[in-house]
Amino acid sequence: MNEFDALPHGGLIRKMWAVEASRYREHLLRLDEASRRNRFGGAVSDEFLVGYGDLALGIDTVIHGFFVNGTMRGAGELRPIGSPISHEAEAAFSIEKPWQSHGVGSALLARTLLAARNRGIKFLHLACLADNERMQQLARKFGAELTFDFGSVVGEVQAPRPTPLSVMREIVADSHGFATAMLDVQTRLLKSAPAPSP
Ligand SMILES: CC(C)(COP(=O)(O)OP(=O)(O)OC[C@H]1O[C@@H](n2cnc3c(N)ncnc32)[C@H](O)[C@@H]1OP(=O)(O)O)[C@@H](O)C(=O)NCCC(=O)NCCS
């Protein structure tokens, strides 16, 4: 499993920028009731999601977004927790219902694991409700990199040390995302520019 696995047609994964909080917020607000419950461990209101989306893109947090035609449809969040020497982080995933079960979660987990490894994270907490079969299946697919104990929902990232290759894989993946993000911004600017007079 790697970050170049096939995504649904027209989809791409890239890291989010701090200025993109509104896109993350809008994605979270589009989650249906069951996805919200699975993502946040219980029913959450729109107000909660607005507040969460505004604060989520903190300095230490790495969020990978899944985009289709410029709209964010999925997210993988990696957030360090505890003291820096504990090398722990939590990860969480959210994919809008029409894009679930199409391999997006697998691709986002692969990118999140790579980012975790390159940041020296050894323990990854995955908050997952006991009845969330799909998330548990997804985690099991990464059994070689992540050991799981669903009772305590802590995964140990294997080979936590970054290697030149793992750093290079993240840089290559980011450079693809950067070029696309630039195109996205340019397209938006062009669309908003007034049409030239004849
Ligand atoms: C859980 C979630 C992240 C999984 O992502 P996804 O894109 O739907 O999952 P994938 O398509 O990559 O499938 C991963 C594995 O789950 C299993 N799976 C897929 N669809 C499934 C379904 N409907 N029921 C049970 N298992 C399923 C399969 O084993 C699959 O691997 P495979 O296709 O190689 O066999 C996504 O469904 C989601 O965002 N759900 C709502 C929020 C949530 O539950 N977040 C997790 C808590 S943080």
**Two structure tokens written together for 150:** 């669903």
* Residue 115 amino acid letter: A
Ligand 1: does its nearest atom lie under 6 Å from the Cβ of 8? no
Answer whether residue 1 shows pLDDT above 50.
Answer: no
Sign of CA dihedral 191, 54, 18, 134: negative
* 95 membership: H or E segment, kind and range: strand 88-95
Q: Residue 58 has what pLDDT? A: 81
Compute CA distances 167 → 105, 131, 171, whole Å: 22, 35, 6
Nearest CA to ligand 1 atom 4: 105
Pairwise pLDDT comparison (160 vs 108), residue with the higher score: 108
Mean pLDDT of the chain: 83
Structure tokens at 125: 């907490």
pLDDT at 23: 95
pLDDT at residue 2 tops 50: no
CA distance 63 to 77: 5
Ligand 1 contact, 105 CB (< 6 A): yes
- Rounded Cα gap, residues 183 and 125, in angstroms: 35
Distance 190 CA to ligand 1 centre (A): 37
Q: What is the per-residue pLDDT for 19?
A: 86
More confident site: 136 or 192: 136
- Answer whether 133 contacts ligand 1 (Cβ < 6 A): yes
pLDDT per residue as tens digits for the range 13-31: 999 988 899 999 999 999 9
**Does residue 15 sit in helix, strand or coil?**
strand
Of residues 139 and 196, more confidence is placed in: 139
Q: Is 100 in the pocket of ligand 1 (CB under 6 A)?
A: yes
Residue 184 CA, chain-centre distance (Å), reads 19
Q: What is the mean pLDDT of residues 121-147?
A: 82
The residue among 193 and 117 whose pLDDT is bigger is 117
Residue with tokens 């004849």: 198
pTM of the model: 0.85
The answer to whether 146 touches 156, Cβ cutoff 8 Å, is: yes
Taking residues 69-78, what's their average pLDDT? 95
Nearest CA among 76, 72, 143 for reference residue 107: 76
The dihedral over CA atoms of 43, 152, 88, 1, expressed in degrees to the nearest 10, equals -90
Backbone CA torsion sign across 114, 119, 123, 128 = negative
Check residue 181 and give its pLDDT: 65
